[in-house]
């Protein structure tokens, strides 16, 4: 079995158009192929404020598929350790043999998650987005903006974060890497009201965006909720959206923003599209400039298999 | 992360009383502790006659838990490869860090599965078992007999296998290692009628034992069924058993012998016990010499965590 470290993987896989294209095909595959993707497995360890998620998907036509283990242990800062971690195993689909261990500490998850945000924006946001808002200023907020820059040429970022501690660092980093102006705002409301596209990247368990803040033409990508207890959007946002797209409806019903909207009987799943229905061109993600569009992303095993296969290709080419 | 090979693991972990004791405590833990054990995750790859199962369980009080990946690819013999494979990852329960990779190719699964059979027999079979029957003559049949020998001092084995090709090899090996006489019989019926304890170790999808073959006092352990399409016992055996025990009822309802019995409305789960209810002494696995007792074992993540922790202890002691 081949084993690769985070450092080796980071050298081979960066956020670029090629990665976004790979992740886009994961959604197309979910729509067009008979992908075997069991529900997410989760182990909760409440006494240590920790959780481990396992995701996987076999996509017919590829010689390997990924099994991903990702961990979030939210007391780790007290131990001087990062909260998030993980690894991926690539398994041979012909004979079951584990072929490679990608010991990426969650890097590939960060990349494929942000790439999915860019895919949603590409198909749903207005072409002319100049101002992007982001709620949360952690690693995933940075990855999302980096990915988005490949599909929308924005020049201004509005950011709000409840934890202010690293927001100046965020501003400096984004201004330097993306050549955009970053405005630190005092509330999520100001961010939403002043941005054409908003990305939520928080672990919130109560809505951080209210529906009355929305304006015509806005696109929202909510990628924070990936568990039964998380929620970033007021459910009326989903109810009133002109276009509502999930990465996978059956998964968003349980883990995503959709869960609460369904619980409150605000929405039926028959009017929701899956992202693969946009990437294949079956449906348009936006009909008019003024449509309000919302993407609910929980992260899929198909993305993990795609990014792992891409990393494997790059890593073995290099040798 | 520490990485251990099958060879290293086999040197440290053999089938013995200590291993059986470890696996017994897994069942006690399932009964007495708030074990976090999500349903089994499965990826089917029908075009390659393959499946990958993922099992896990966090047992409070232990510093690590195992995530096990096991594969069965049943065309592998055409490739000159073993059908079964697998590995275990030990994850730190305090911070989520992967601590060790046990690259055991399924060895620890074989051991913990057979050990569970011995635990069931210890609590359910008559003390004086002299003749043991086994249906199937593969690796797991050997492991089961090896484990059983530690809890019941039998001196004769009756075996039937549909595939005759390695049955002489089986006879020689068991006779040499366990100092018992092995009789190769012509049918499962003859095995059942002439044995006090019977273990089924097949991947059968249709019953291989009929209820009319049973006699008073027999104990049956069915360990072959671990998937929705498998079944080794005629469901009337479960219906008529004086004592029916599952490793975990919720898992056997989906993956075990219990599935078919419930589908045919032959049994209600309220009269079934879990193995942990016997290992803790809450219930007796047998009331009288003539009771017919049946154990339905599907294999649990708790056993995987226990055997992985035991292997880790042995492997790191050695260094």
Structural domain harbouring B150: 114-299
| B165 and B88 within one domain | no
Residue A60 lies in a domain: yes
Q: Which of A217, A110, A132 is nearest to A178 (CA)?
A: A132
User: How far apart are the C-alpha atoms of A229 and A42, rounded to whole Å?
Assistant: 13
User: How far apart are the C-alpha atoms of A101 and A81, rounded to whole Å?
Assistant: 22
| A155 and A74 within one domain | no
| B64 and B29 within one domain | yes
Q: A47–B60: do the CB atoms touch at under 8 Å?
A: yes
The reported pLDDT for the residue numbered B166 is: 83
In a mutagenesis test of the B interface, which of A2, A36, A43 is the best target, namely the one with the most B β-carbons within 10 Å?
Answer: A43
> Does A82 contact chain B (CB < 8 Å)?
no
* CATH number of the structural domain spanning residue B258: 3.40.50.720
> Does B81 contact chain A (CB < 8 Å)?
yes
| B280 and B157 within one domain | yes
Nearest chain B CA: its distance from A72 CA (Å): 7
| B238 and B154 within one domain | yes
The reported pLDDT for the residue numbered A130 is: 98
| B215 and B87 within one domain | no
Q: What is the pLDDT of residues B216-242, one digit of tens each?
A: 999 999 998 888 888 999 999 999 999
| A173 and A103 within one domain | no
Q: What is the pLDDT of residues B54-112, one digit of tens each?
A: 999 999 999 999 999 999 998 998 999 988 899 999 999 999 999 999 999 999 999 99
User: How far apart are the C-alpha atoms of A216 and A298, rounded to whole Å?
Assistant: 25
| B137 and B75 within one domain | no
| B195 and B162 within one domain | yes
Q: What percent of chain B has pLDDT over 70?
A: 99
* CATH number of the structural domain spanning residue A51: 3.30.1780.10
> Does A42 contact chain B (CB < 8 Å)?
yes
Q: B96–A72: do the CB atoms touch at under 8 Å?
A: yes
| B137 and B245 within one domain | yes
Residue A147 lies in a domain: yes
Closest-CA residue of chain A to B106: A97
The reported pLDDT for the residue numbered B229 is: 87
Residue A288 lies in a domain: yes
The reported pLDDT for the residue numbered A318 is: 60
On whether the CB atoms of residues A133 and A222 are closer than 8 A, the answer is no
Residue A113 lies in a domain: no
Considering only residues A208 and B166, tell me which one the structure prediction assigns the higher pLDDT. Answer: A208
User: How far apart are the C-alpha atoms of A71 and A79, rounded to whole Å?
Assistant: 15
Beta strand pairing call for B243-246 and B197-200: unpaired
Q: For the sheet with B181-184, list strands across it.
A: B181-184, B156-160, B131-135, B197-200, B219-222, B293-296, B243-246, B273-274
Nearest chain A CA: its distance from B168 CA (Å): 28
| B151 and B14 within one domain | no
Beta-carbon count within 10 A of B156 CB: 16
Q: For the sheet with A98-103, list strands across it.
A: A2-5, A98-103, A84-92, A64-73, A50-57, A41-45
Q: What is the pLDDT of residues A197-216, one digit of tens each?
A: 999 998 889 999 999 999 99
Mean of the per-residue pLDDT values for chain A?
A: 95
On whether the CB atoms of residues B107 and B94 are closer than 8 A, the answer is no
> Does B73 contact chain A (CB < 8 Å)?
yes
Closest-CA residue of chain A to B62: A45
pLDDT of B319 > 80? The answer is: no
Q: How many domains does chain A have?
A: 2
pTM of the model: 0.93
On whether the CB atoms of residues B274 and B28 are closer than 8 A, the answer is no
Residues of A in contact with B81 (CB under 8 A): 95, 97
Structure tokens at A177: 């890497």
| B96 and B25 within one domain | yes
Residue A21 lies in a domain: yes
The reported pLDDT for the residue numbered B318 is: 60
Q: B45–A36: do the CB atoms touch at under 8 Å?
A: yes
> Does A48 contact chain B (CB < 8 Å)?
yes
Q: B58–A43: do the CB atoms touch at under 8 Å?
A: yes
The reported pLDDT for the residue numbered B164 is: 76
With a cut of 70, list the residues of chain A below it in pLDDT. 318-319
pLDDT of B288 > 80? The answer is: yes
Residue A114 lies in a domain: no
């Amino acid at each position: 079995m081949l084993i690769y470290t985070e450092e080796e993987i980071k050298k081979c896989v960066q956020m670029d158009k090629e990665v976004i294209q790979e992740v886009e095909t994961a959604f197309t595959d979910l729509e067009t192929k008979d992908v075997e993707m069991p529900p997410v497995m989760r182990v909760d360890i409440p006494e240590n404020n920790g959780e481990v998620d396992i995701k996987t998907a076999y996509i017919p036509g590829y010689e390997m598929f990924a099994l991903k283990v990702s961990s979030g242990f939210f007391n780790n800062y007290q131990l001087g350790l990062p909260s998030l971690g993980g690894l991926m195993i690539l398994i041979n689909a012909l004979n079951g043999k584990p072929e490679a261990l990608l010991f990426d500490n969650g890097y590939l998850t960060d990349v494929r998650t942000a790439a999915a945000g860019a895919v949603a924006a590409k198909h749903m946001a207005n072409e002319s987005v100049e101002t992007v808002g982001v709620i949360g200023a952690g690693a995933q907020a940075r990855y999302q903006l980096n990915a988005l820059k490949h599909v929308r040429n924005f020049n201004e970022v509005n950011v709000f974060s409840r934890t202010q501690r690293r927001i100046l660092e965020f501003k400096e980093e984004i201004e330097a890497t993306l050549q955009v102006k970053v405005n630190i705002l005092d509330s999520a409301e100001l961010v939403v009201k002043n941005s054409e596209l908003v990305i939520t990247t928080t672990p919130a368990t109560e809505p951080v965006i209210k529906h009355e803040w929305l304006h015509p033409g806005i696109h929202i990508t909510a990628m924070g909720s990936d568990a039964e207890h998380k929620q970033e959007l007021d459910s009326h946002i989903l109810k009133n959206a002109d276009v509502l797209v999930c990465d996978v409806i059956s998964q968003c019903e349980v883990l995503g923003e959709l869960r609460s909207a369904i619980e409150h009987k605000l929405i039926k799943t028959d009017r929701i599209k899956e992202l693969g229905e946009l990437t294949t061109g079956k449906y348009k993600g936006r009909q008019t400039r003024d449509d309000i569009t919302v993407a609910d992303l929980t992260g899929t095993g198909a993305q993990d298999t795609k990014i792992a296969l891409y990393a494997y290709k790059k890593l073995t080419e290099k040798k």
